[in-house]
Amino acid sequence: MESEMDRSTSIFDFSDSPKFYLVDILESIKEAKTDDNIKGISLQLDNFSGGATQATDIRNALVDFKKSGKFIYAYSNTGNQLSYYINTTADKIYQNPLGGTLIQGLSSEIMFYKNAGDKYGVDFQVIRHGQFKSAVEPFFRTNMSEENRLQVSELLNDVWGNMKTSITSARKISSEDFNTITDSLYAFIPELGKENKIYDVLAQENEYKKMLFKKLELEKDDSKSDFEILEKYTIKIDDYFSTLSPESEKEKVAVLYASGAITEGDGFDGIQSKTYVDAIRKIAKNDKVKALVLRINSPGGSANASEEILFELMQLKEKMPIVVSFGDVAASGGYYIAQSSDKIYAQPNTITGSIGVFGMIPNAKKLFNNIGLDFDEVKTNANSNQLKSLTTPLSATAKNTLQKSIVLTYGKFVNHVAKNRKMTFDQVDKIGEGRVWSGTKAKQIGLVDEFGGLNDAIKEAARLAKINKYSTVNYPKRKDSFEEFMANLQGKNVEASIAKELGTDGIRIYKEIKMLNEQKGLQLRMPYDIQIK
């Protein structure tokens, strides 16, 4: 097969969400910066499916790429806000005249279950610790508490403010004008978007490709169309990454991706404790690995599973430095497992903190009675049926026991943070109590050390390990392509199937119901799913 990189002139095509690790995307952009075969980058990111911090990492890599003097152009059909955020690194943004981007700011909608529980006979028996631990509010309220409204408002304004600053600086738009553009949804109408400096050129995709053909100064060939010639000189990001030389002989920085809810068990559905404990032990046994970067993108989950993972990381820290890189969310249990770190990096847009604990035991006896089901029981002791049954109200003893357990777990959480962050218990408690913070505020109050992306964390880990020449290796081992194919064939990829059939709202409701089922035992979990869109 002809080597793509034998060509004297190539354009690097970065389209929607390649199917490989973030570190590989960043490495590809970094290599392209100094690769004489690459003359520029074409962005065609209609619907970037990553999160805000992933977008920031990629955006920063593209800004660095531009220091080479090479070009970046962007083309959009119908984009989302994060796609546009990345596209603003381009020298010019081309927009399909019948498309548009819904630049509208950020919002967070919470689903409340209390009325449904009252209607159908489910009593959500919840116990929490922390003024701001609003994870359980949906079970006993029908709207947001003032404390919760305060933290969510501050969070969204911090995140949007950071994105807005980058966009307005790149596009040379005043903050006031951008507020008007956002409030008026001007970007959704291409002509209005162009008038207000959101887009540079309104053009069909073929016209955009003709521009690239001229930019590369390609020669016409009567036997081929211009687009066929351009395609010959275009390489997609995943194909480009596959051309990079393997560096198996070098010392390694391991990157452990911890993404999703934290649960007990073995598998790849989120962060399952046995899978991650096994991965950490494999890292410890790999003599070529000299440092670990723990990439966290998690709202938390099971307290027990979080403790299992943290304990294993603390064992590993005796052997090598550990640097943590926060993604979009590193909160509650996601923040808990970061407490074995030498340094924590976050983005200003990161959602973090939520240092708090809660427990919930639903009582659905009334619901079952309403549909004709009755229950009777025999027990050996006063509380034999407590803390596990879905048809029993909490006894005073069980409630008191659960409360004590939550307070003890919260104390352990705060102590871990205090030790790792070199703070007192009272200092952590003051900024804890379940409150969620943006990365911007988290750095101010000492919950993170530096602003930076995954590459910054990798460089710091290598520096702490005192290694100069190194490559990265990713953990945990994912399913290979055949296993993924079989999982899809057998209908095991449930979320993907639901998303395909019911769309965004359908998958959101499914995840909410799934979360209810997962919330067994003590939980170090963020208030709810905050999606930055």
pLDDT surpasses 60 at 518: no
432-480 tens-digit pLDDT: 877 889 899 999 999 999 999 999 999 999 999 999 889 899 999 754 4
Residue with tokens 């209810």, as numbered in its chain = 516
pLDDT surpasses 80 at 484: no
Confidence of residue 132 (pLDDT cuts 50, 70, 90): low
The CATH number given to whatever domain includes residue 260 is 3.90.226.10
Q: Where are the beta strands (DSSP E) in 141-184?
A: none
Confidence of residue 186 (pLDDT cuts 50, 70, 90): very high
- Note whether residue 277 is domain-resident: yes
From the list 146, 165, 122, the residue with the least C-alpha distance to 348 is 165
| Per-residue model confidence (pLDDT) at position 488 | 43
Phi and psi, residue 403, nearest 5° = -60, -45
Confidence of residue 31 (pLDDT cuts 50, 70, 90): very high
pLDDT surpasses 70 at 342: yes
Same domain for 333 and 414, yes or no, is: yes
Same domain for 484 and 507, yes or no, is: yes
Same domain for 506 and 400, yes or no, is: yes
From CA 118, how far away is CA 111, in angstroms rounded? 15
Q: What is the dihedral of CA 529, 409, 430, 441, to 10 degrees?
A: -30
From the list 319, 366, 372, the residue with the least C-alpha distance to 342 is 319
Active site residue 76: no
Last residue of a domain, one of 226, 243, 260: 243
| Per-residue model confidence (pLDDT) at position 485 | 43
**Mean per-residue pLDDT, 513-524:** 61
Same domain for 24 and 69, yes or no, is: yes
Last residue of a domain, one of 194, 218, 243: 243
- Note whether residue 122 is domain-resident: no
**Mean per-residue pLDDT, 124-142:** 73
Same domain for 348 and 263, yes or no, is: yes
Same domain for 353 and 208, yes or no, is: no
| Per-residue model confidence (pLDDT) at position 376 | 75
252-267 tens-digit pLDDT: 999 999 998 898 888 8
Q: Give the SS3 label for residue 353.
A: strand
Active site residue 332: yes
32-90 tens-digit pLDDT: 999 999 999 999 988 887 888 889 999 999 999 999 999 999 999 988 999 999 999 99
What residues make up the domain containing 39? 4-104+185-243
- Note whether residue 447 is domain-resident: yes
pLDDT surpasses 50 at 491: no
Active-site residue identified among 332, 340, 354, 405: 332
Same domain for 90 and 226, yes or no, is: yes
Q: What is the chain's length?
A: 533
Total number of domains in the chain: 2
Are 69 and 100 in contact by the 8 Å Cβ rule? The answer is no
Confidence of residue 2 (pLDDT cuts 50, 70, 90): very low
| Per-residue model confidence (pLDDT) at position 498 | 53
360-380 tens-digit pLDDT: 777 787 877 877 877 777 878
pLDDT surpasses 60 at 424: yes
Same domain for 231 and 279, yes or no, is: no
Same domain for 214 and 326, yes or no, is: no
pLDDT surpasses 60 at 501: no
195-241 tens-digit pLDDT: 999 999 999 999 999 999 999 988 888 888 888 889 889 998 888 88
> Whole-number mean pLDDT of the chain?
85
- Note whether residue 406 is domain-resident: yes
- Note whether residue 402 is domain-resident: yes
Confidence of residue 3 (pLDDT cuts 50, 70, 90): very low
- 3 state SS for 365-419: HHHHHHCCCCCCCCCCCCCCCCCCCCCCCCCHHHHHHHHHHHHHHHHHHHHHHHH
Same domain for 83 and 226, yes or no, is: yes
**Mean per-residue pLDDT, 164-180:** 96
- Note whether residue 513 is domain-resident: yes
pLDDT surpasses 90 at 128: no
Report yes or no on whether pTM surpasses 0.85. no
* Alpha helix segments (H runs only) across 263-395: 273-285, 303-317, 333-336, 365-370
Same domain for 190 and 261, yes or no, is: no
From CA 259, how far away is CA 98, in angstroms rounded? 36
| Per-residue model confidence (pLDDT) at position 480 | 45
- Note whether residue 175 is domain-resident: no
Active-site residue identified among 133, 194, 343, 441: 133
Same domain for 351 and 466, yes or no, is: yes
Chain centroid, CA 189 distance in Å: 30
| Per-residue model confidence (pLDDT) at position 466 | 96
Give the least confident one: 6-15, 55-64, 176-185, 342-351. 6-15
**What's the token pair of residue 114?**
């209390």
